[in-house]
Amino acid sequence: MSYTIGQVAEETGLSIHTLRFYEKEGILPPVKRNESSRRVYDSADIEWLKFACCLRDTGMTIAEMKRFAQLTIQGDDTIKERIKLLLEQKERINSQIDQLTNYQSMIDYKIKFYSNNVRHLSDK
């Protein structure tokens, strides 16, 4: 099945501008074109873009995303390097989770603190 750029934008949540940017920057491999020179995406392109969104949403830089895409295009000889990049990204995610968990604890503390103060004020 093939998709237009508009359909891909709707499916992935990316803007048409971002799709073109990702292609231009090499984050997305060159997209096939039809006889009218319009971009024609397939299911593999959509899956790749969804993974690119995962990488972006977890804080991977554009440069790192480009590097990962280049390695993927180069083939199986780069699998170890791709795993290394993904493990580094996973470590960043774990650090973010730890930080957010700490922030959540701080917020929980303040909620409890304010809740206790409200109860004491209403007792007066």
Residue 82 maps to which CATH number?
1.10.1660.10
- Pairwise CA distance, residues 65 & 29, whole Å: 12
End-to-end CA distance of the chain: 70
* Res. 58 pLDDT band, cuts 50 70 90: very high
Beta strands in the chain (DSSP E): 2-3, 32-33, 39-42
- Stretch among 24-33, 86-95, 102-111 having the lowest mean pLDDT: 24-33
Region 47-60: mean pLDDT is 95
Q: What is the pLDDT of residue 34?
A: 93
Examine the pLDDT at 30 and tell me if it is beyond 90: no
Provide the domain limits for residue 37: 2-123
Count how many domains the chain has.
Answer: 1
- pLDDT: is 124 or 60 the higher one? 60
Q: What is the pTM of this model?
A: 0.80
Examine the pLDDT at 60 and tell me if it is beyond 70: yes
